[in-house]
Chains A and B, each alone.
Chain A
Amino acid sequence: MFLQVTMSLLEGFKTTFNIFILTLLFALPLGLIISFGSMCKVKFIKWFVKTFIWIIRGTPLMLQLIVVYYGPGLIGTWAQEAIKTGVASGAIMEWLASWHVFERFFALILAFVINYACYFSEIFRGGIESIPRGQYEAGQVLGMTKVQVFFKVVLMQVVKRIIPPMSNEIITLVKDTSLARIIMVYEIIWNAQKYIKSEGLLWPLFYTAVYYLLFCGILTLLFGYIEKKLDYYKI
């Protein structure tokens, strides 16, 4: 039984891990882009992005999962209904009527990426804004372009500064993956819960903690290692 549970949880953990990796892979670069938006000199873009971040950070991820998964389908049905009853028509309505639910896993990753990109963007923004103006000016008077100053001078300093808050957020992500079962993506906790219903066993649920702990432990070590690697200079 123990072996069977272990393997079943491992299966669930694969999904957990995939959610984690895919979210990181897309949310990190997207977060950087969003952070540029939130520091944009064009007021309209800046406030649009800031409002978006406020909405995403101000609502539960669980709710966002539900909206992303069921939302498009609901809009599609509503538009079809409206066209059928003649309440509305036109190209936009036709287009809305073609909306349908996303594939489960896609919807899940989409919601996670948007949510985490917003959190990451605020960490990036804090990091970028904490770099003294003198660094930009020194690069500029040495004839570097803006892009060179960002990538050659500023970015490494930002990375060093944001590793502690980033590692915090990334470890939170590991545990947030358990929300996937809200839209029935079967991650590790769901696999453990099965055993309550089918066999009346509670311990597999507790057993999942071992997986989380091990995984977060590895991440903690990894971040410690990176921090040490960057210890050769001080900002």
Chain B
Amino acid sequence: MSILKVENIYKRFGKIEVLKGVSFEMNKGEVLSILGSSGSGKTTLLRCINFLEKADGGVISVDGDVIFDASDKSKMTAADIRRSQLNFGMVFQSFNLFPQYNVLENVTLAPKLLAKEDPNYHANKKAILAEIDEHAKELLARVGLSEKLDSYPCQLSGGQQQRVSIARALALKPKILFFDEPTSALDPELTGEILKVIRSLAQQNITMVIVTHEIGFAKNVSDRIIFMDNGVIAEQGTPAEVIDNPKNERTKAFLNLISQKE
């Protein structure tokens, strides 16, 4: 069974139709990259899946459970949305770390707030909080930031900030991790360190959806590639199919343009 199933997502902003029926599925442990020119609707698609935008049409299921159905408004209370959101982690282009918290606190804030809802919280408070700290330190070690636990975001480079935000997203053990152009705000030298982290996550079989303009990286790390054009999926398949032998004219044009730039 697919871990994520997206069916016929529609989204419009005022008059412009940004997503015009997008459907795809992915399996557990898969890495899916989404390519496409600027304005094709990649960010909007991610935002519709993780409830930062409300799609106008379509159905989204996780592990076979429908978590969003545009035609069925009954399941959409704030609490339902919140529960569904916990299936997903999100890494933003602009990091969005919390400036007033240090690195460790950035990672532990959400898990600690969530732990309070655990009925055993008061009985085992110490143990639960210690475990969250432990897990956070482990994650920060995995992204190579063990030395920076006490630093504040303003004291870190862009690459380090983005690695914190990856650890923060992983702290809630999401089923699927989304990246929206995780390296576009970074210098080329810093891009490498993020790509390395994402690659290591792929090796640990973490299910990921990555919107990126790094074609070489996408080809290398992904199991499958989606190419979006003007609000629809123009082409999808393995990296070998989509990047090395594109069938769609728009995909060819896009890949040509990118390779000229590089």
Q: Does A86 contact B (CB under 8 A)?
A: no
Q: How far is the CA of A235 from the CA of B97 in the complex (A)?
A: 10
Chain A residues with CB under 8 Å of B51's CB are 140
Docked-complex contact B85 and A140, CB < 8 angstroms: yes
Interface segment among B68-76, B108-116, B134-142, B204-212: the answer is: B108-116
Contact residues in B for A137 (Cβ distance below 8 Å)? 52, 90, 92, 96
A191-235 contacts to B, CB under 8 A, are: 232-235
Bound: A145/B89 CA distance, A: 16
Q: Give the chain B neighbours of A142 by CB distance below 8 A.
A: 109-110, 168-169, 172
Q: Binary interface profile of B, 133-169, with partner A (CB < 8 Å = 1, else 0)?
A: 0000000000000000000111000000000010011
From the candidates A132, A138, A141, name the one contacting B88 in the complex (CB within 8 A).
A141
Q: Are A235 and B86 CB-contacts (below 8 A) given A142-B172, A148-B113? A: no
Report the count of interface residues on A (CB-CB < 8 A). 23
Is A135 touching B98 in the complex (CB atoms < 8 A)? yes
Q: What's the least CB distance linking B30 to chain A, in Å?
A: 21
Stretch at the interface among A13-21, A58-66, A150-158: A150-158
Of A138, A145, A160, A234, which one neighbours B98 at CB under 8 angstroms?
A138
Look across to chain B and name the residue whose beta carbon is closest to the beta carbon of A142: B110
Of residues 74 through 97 on chain B, the ones whose CB sits less than 8 Å from some CB of chain A are: 78, 82, 85-86, 88-90, 92, 94, 96-97
Is residue B99 within 8 Å, beta carbon to beta carbon, of the partner chain?
A: yes
Q: Does A90 count as interface, using CB distance less than 8 angstroms?
A: no
**Contacts A137-B92, A141-B90: A157 and B52 contacting too (C-beta < 8 A)?**
no
> In the complex, A233 Cα to B99 Cα: how many Å?
6
Contact among B82, B165, B168 with A145 in the assembled complex (CB-CB below 8 Å): B82
Q: Which residues of A are found within 8 Å of B172, using beta-carbon distances?
A: 142-143
Q: Does A144 contact B (CB under 8 A)?
A: yes
Number of chain B residues whose Cβ lies closer than 8 Å to a Cβ of chain A: 28
Q: Does B260 contact A (CB under 8 A)?
A: no
* Inter-subunit contact A143/B96 (CB<8 Å): no
Nearest CB on B from A173, distance (A)? 27
* B69–chain A nearest beta-carbon distance, Å: 20
A146 within 8 A of partner (CB): yes
Quick one: CB contact mask for B193-234 with A, threshold 8 Å, 1 for yes? 000000000000000000000000000000000000000000
User: Given A134-B94, A134-B96, A153-B98, do A144 and B52 touch, yes or no (CB 8 Å)?
Assistant: no
Query: Contact partner of B92 among A138, A156, A232, CB < 8 A?
Result: A138
Q: Which of B27-52 contact A (CB under 8 A)?
A: 50-52
- In the bound complex, residues from chain A placing their C-beta under 8 Å from that of B110 are 139, 142-144
Q: Report whether A232 and B168 are in contact in the complex, using a CB–CB cutoff of 8 Å.
A: no
CB contact list, A2-44 vs B, under 8 A: none
| Interface pairs (5), CB distance under 8 Å | A140-B85, A141-B85, A156-B100, A233-B99, A233-B153
Extra 5 A-B pairs, beta carbons < 8 Å, given A137-B92, A157-B100, A232-B152: A134-B94, A135-B98, A137-B96, A153-B98, A160-B100
Give me the interface of B with A, judged by CB distance under 8 Å.
50-52, 78, 82, 85-86, 88-90, 92, 94, 96-100, 109-110, 113-114, 152-154, 165, 168-169, 172
Closest 8 CB pairs of A and B: A142-B110, A138-B96, A134-B96, A234-B154, A141-B90, A156-B100, A143-B86, A233-B152
